[in-house]
Chain A
Amino acid sequence: MFDPKQLQEVAEGRKGYEADVEKALAKNPERKDKFTTGGGIPLKRIYTPEDLECLDYTKDIGFPGRYPYVRGVQPTMYRGRFWTMRQYAGFATAEDSNKRYRYLLSQGTTGLSVAFDLPTQIGYDSDDPMAIGEVGKVGVAIDSLADAEILFDQIPLDKVSTSMTINAPAAVLLAMYIAVAEKQGVPMCELSGTIQNDILKEYIARGTYIFPPKPSMRLITDIFDFCSRNIPKWNTISISGYHIREAGSTAIQEVAFTLADGIAYIEAAIKAGQDPNVFGKRLSFFFNSHNDFLEEVAKFRAARKIWAKIMKDRFGVTNKNAQMLRFHTQTAGCTLTAQQAENNIVRVAVQTMAAVCGGTQSLHTNSLDEALALPTDKSVRIALRTQQIVAYESGIANTVDPLAGSYAIEALTKQIEDGAWEYINKIDELGGMMTAIEKGYPQKHIQDASYDYQKSIESGDRIIVGVNKFQIEEDTSDRKLLKVDASVGENQVKRLRAMKETRDNVKVRECLEDVRRGAKGNENLMPLILEAVRHYATEGEICGVLREEFGEYKENVVL
């Protein structure tokens, strides 16, 4: 990127600088012997043009909206439109959550994001014995279309895009969304949104799986095909690194394991006869925005470059939209502290800036109290304002990819890219991600990284403000936290039982038998699930049939 004469001058200049460094160190040693990024990449004292010697601007960095998309996926990025401010929310009942969604929309969020409770995420109705104590606690309880109708009450689904964090039972929740829209008079083809639908990361790091890998992949590719034909603006999957990072992985592992999961999904869909130039356009991704600002910005840029290369070179994809890595980001929950929780506002602000400098398409910012509980109205408002302040007041959204060309950023982008390729190639050698998961490969790496992280905190090498330095005695007795009461579960069960009395139970049984027939065969399950949902079959009933036909995944316990 620089001519040899310039580099020669820089090399000579650096010798003088290094002599200065020796003198400075003699007087005042540096704070540490070794500096690394949060994810463990050694960080040099200074980066210069020499670090970018092998890079070619056009080939390796390029322009936004053009291959390899390092600088972003649209030509004008945030000058055209800010990232979607999409706050993940949901708790207790559909009414409570609906109220929170309408509050968020009134405060300026530009998209919805639904958090479901654990029974819903794992295909259990609120009256299932496995659901005791869990109903409505980490998200909203949705048992049937009746609850979904309340959830989206007064929310026009032709105008608002919705992301649903649902994986194993994604087909059922997507069907409910379609059915609610039908009742609003909105045809499927106009719907816009996302389902997470990423089972591989459930096996690796998140744990809300139901079925074994093969039938899970079948459900996923059925959804790809159904949406390609019927819901062109729907993101059929959100291939996630967020949770892998939350489980303790490094930044490089986050990128590598996510993209390796992506490769597995592409291969499965191709095997099912689908064209990556078509379904590839509607894959999306989901990354973490962690504490180390420079590393995170570099990470997002590296991810775009690697994915573009994988789509073009490995899968022969020519459609530009299918080459682009579009992603949602969430600020890192695992970095938030219970101690001096107000400091979390600052952490989230730094993480927001990293996501914006990294070119995210949409963003969720965590609330200050989320190390303790689900957020209150007030704390979620502050989290939203954080995004708005960065958008409107910081200036970083007013020019595209502002940190490009920084010697440190471009060097780190290249290092993360190289490091991720090493893991991706290793996973290929193991036989692909599904085999790697069976062998415990990603799980072991994540665990080792998370143990190292904890040890670095306890040794004092890694400082967490308020936790192992700058601690105070806190009186938190008047802190107001959101609490979900046991009565939520009791009332939800009553409501579910009442609903079952009013529906056409004969028709429901027929629909469930159709789902069973479909599960045994090869036809696309989406239309069958949609019909069952329209007649108020519950999520638990539909998943119950699928559990019987597909079996249940048994965790590969890796310690």
Chain B
Amino acid sequence: MDRKIRVVIAKPGLDGHDRGAKVIARAFRDAGMEVIYTGLRQTPEQIVNTAIQEDADAIGVSILSGAHEYCFKAIMDLLREKNATDIIVFGGGVIPESDYPTLLGFGVGAIFGPGTPTTEAIEWLRKAVAEKRAKEVQA
């Protein structure tokens, strides 16, 4: 009945820590979603283009290098530029809690910090996509 959730898991910038990204990608896949994992060294442009080409519902950004403000802002700006703001953006990694409000202010939906169970991210994403699709039906 419902189209499977399609989510891109992305590693932006120069950060090579992909353990978390791969774990969440597998968890989403085991939860019945279609996952596209980008691999390392993605520019914000590449990430947004992949999400658009893959007709993704959401982009999950994993970042542990401290470059999160730059990366998330660039991704959100590009989505606006390309009229793709319906794509949900969320993230995880090593991001100080004190920076969460800035990222949420850019339009990022949620940040899942260290210790978050994968089930929490899965439930959040299912809910966010359901809400998005409900709005699309109304519109």
Given known contacts A118-B13, A133-B69, A458-B118, A450 and B113 CB-to-CB distance under 8 angstroms: no
| Structural contact, A371 and B14, CB atoms closer than 8 A | no
B16 to A202, Cβ gap below 8 A? yes
Say whether chain B's binding surface is mostly helix, strand, loop, or mixed: loop
Contact code string A370-400 (vs B, CB < 8 Å = 1, else 0): 0111000000000000000000000000000
Question: Which residues in B have their C-beta under 8 angstroms from that of A337?
Answer: 114-115
A338 to B20, CA, bound (A): 15
A447-B22, A557-B39 known; A133 vs B115 contact (CB < 8 Å): no
Decide if A133 touches B70 in the complex (CB within 8 Å): yes
Cβ of B33 < 8 Å from any Cβ of A? Answer: no
Across the two chains, which residue of chain B brings its CB closest to A118? B14
Interface assignment of B23: CB less than 8 Å from any CB of chain A: yes
A137 touches B65 (CB 8 A): yes
Within 8 A of A (CB), among B11-41: 13-19, 22-23, 25-27, 35, 37, 39-41
Are A476 and B118 CB-contacts (below 8 A) given A134-B65, A137-B66, A447-B22? no
Does residue B46 face the partner (Cβ distance < 8 Å to A)?
no
Cα A372 to Cα B93 in complex, Å, equals 10
Report the nearest B residue to A458, measured CB to CB: B117
Residue from A122, A137, A371, A464 having most chain B Cβ neighbours under 10 A:
A137
- Report Cα–Cα, A130/B67, bound state, in Å: 11
Per-residue B-contact encoding for A430-474, CB less than 8 Å = 1, 0 else: 000000000000000001001100100110000010011000000
Q: A338-B115, A555-B40, A559-B37 are in contact. Are A134 and B16 (CB under 8 A)?
A: no
Return the chain A residue nearest B41 by Cβ.
Answer: A555
Interface string of B83-95 (1 = CB under 8 A from A): 0000000000010
A338 touches B23 (CB 8 A): no
Give the docked Cα–Cα distance between A137 and B13 (Å). Answer: 12
How many interface residues does A have (CB within 8 Å)? 43
Q: Is A206 an interface residue (CB 8 A)?
A: yes
Let me know if A208 is at the binding interface, CB within 8 A.
Answer: yes
Question: A118 to B115, Cβ gap below 8 A?
Answer: no
Q: Which residues of B contact A372 (CB under 8 A)?
A: 94, 96
Separation in Å of the A346 CB from the closest CB of chain B?
17
For A457, list chain B residues within 8 Å (CB).
Answer: 117
Cross-chain contact A137 with B67 (CB below 8 angstroms):
yes
Restricting to A116-143, which residues have a CB under 8 Å from any CB of B? 118-119, 121-122, 124, 130-134, 137-138
Tell me which of A202, A334, A451 contacts B26 (CB under 8 A): A451
* B49 within 8 A of partner (CB): no
Q: Is B128 an interface residue when CB atoms closer than 8 A count as contact?
A: no
User: Quick one: which of B14, B98, B114 contacts A338, CB cutoff 8 A?
Assistant: B114
A121's nearest neighbour on chain B, judged by CB, is: B14
Assess the B19–A246 pair: CB atoms within 8 A.
Answer: yes
- Decide if A150 is an interface residue (CB 8 Å cutoff): no
Q: Are B115 and A138 in contact (CB under 8 A)?
A: no
Residues of chain B within 8 A of A454, CB atoms compared: 23, 27, 118
Query: Would you call B81 an interface residue if the criterion is a C-beta within 8 Å of the partner chain's C-beta atoms?
Result: no
B53-70 near A? 1/0 per residue, CB < 8 Å: 000000000000111011
Residue of B nearest to A372 (CB): B96
Which residues in B have their C-beta under 8 angstroms from that of A467?
115
Tell yes or no: B123 within 8 A of A by CB: no
Is B136 at the interface (CB under 8 A from chain A)? no
> Quick one: given A450-B22, A454-B23, A555-B39, are A207 and B16 in contact (CB under 8 Å)?
yes
Residues of A within 8 A of B65 (CB): 118, 134, 137-138
Cα separation A372 to B65 with both chains bound (whole Å): 11
Cβ–Cβ < 8 Å partners of B41 in chain A: 555
A132 partner, pick from B15, B70, B98, B117, beta carbons under 8 A? B70
Known pairs A134-B66, A373-B96; A559 contacts B22 (CB<8 A) = yes
* A-binding residues in B (CB < 8 A): 13-19, 22-23, 25-27, 35, 37, 39-41, 65-67, 69-71, 94, 96-98, 113-115, 117-119
The 3 lowest CB-CB distance pairs between A and B, nearest first, are A207-B16, A133-B70, A137-B66
Beyond A450-B22, A559-B37, list 16 extra A-B contacts (CB 8 Å).
Answer: A118-B13, A118-B14, A133-B71, A134-B13, A134-B14, A206-B16, A207-B16, A248-B19, A334-B19, A372-B94, A450-B23, A451-B26, A454-B23, A467-B115, A481-B96, A555-B41
